[in-house]
A = this chain, B = another copy of it.
C-alpha cells in the first residue's frame, strides 16, 4: 500500500514533525512526501500551468488522485478512513496533492478522482502538510482498530 503526498515547494520545507508522522504511519503503509519544484515563471497563471504539467507527468493514469481543495467533499475522520480504505483496495497507489499560494491549475482539478476539503479555511502549505499527515495516520489507525482515535 503506497501513498504519496505532493506539494509545490522545496524538500527543505518538510519538518521533523512530518518525518516522525511518516515513520509512525510506516507500520501500516508506505507514505512519502514529494516536493514539486516551482517553475520560476513570473506570471502566476503560466507558472501554475507549467508546474501542473510537471506534476501530472508523474501520476500514472490508473493511480488514484486526491486533490485537496476547500470546495471538495468534507468528511469526518471516520468517513475519510472508510474512503481511503476503499481507494486503496480499488487502486493500489494513492496520491494527495496540495495547492500552492495561488491554488491549483484547472488541469489538476480535472484529473482528480476525488476532491477532498478540510473545511473552508486557508492554511499555509507547511501547516497543511502536517494536517494531511495526521489525518492519513488517523485514518489508518481507525482502520487498523487501534485506540489512537477517540470519538
Q: Which residues of A contact B (CB under 8 A)?
A: 70, 74-77, 79-80, 101-102, 117-124, 127, 130-131, 134-135, 138, 149-150
Which residues does chain B contribute within 8 Å of A101, judged by CB atoms? 150
- Given contact pairs A74-B119, A122-B138, enumerate 16 new A-B contacts (beta carbons under 8 Å): A70-B76, A74-B120, A75-B120, A76-B120, A77-B120, A77-B122, A80-B121, A101-B150, A121-B135, A121-B138, A122-B150, A123-B131, A123-B134, A127-B130, A127-B134, A130-B130
Which residues does chain B contribute within 8 Å of A77, judged by CB atoms? 120-122
Which residues does chain B contribute within 8 Å of A130, judged by CB atoms? 127, 130
Could you say how many copies of this chain the assembly holds? 2
Q: Distance in Å from the Cβ of A101 to the closest Cβ of chain B? A: 5
How far is B134's CA from A124's CA once the two chains are assembled, in angstroms? 8
Report whether B122 and A149 are in contact in the complex, using a CB–CB cutoff of 8 Å.
yes
How far is B120's CA from A135's CA once the two chains are assembled, in angstroms? 12
Q: What are 16 contact pairs spanning A and B, CB under 8 A? A: A74-B120, A75-B120, A76-B120, A76-B121, A76-B122, A77-B120, A79-B120, A80-B121, A118-B119, A119-B120, A119-B121, A122-B149, A127-B130, A127-B131, A130-B130, A131-B131
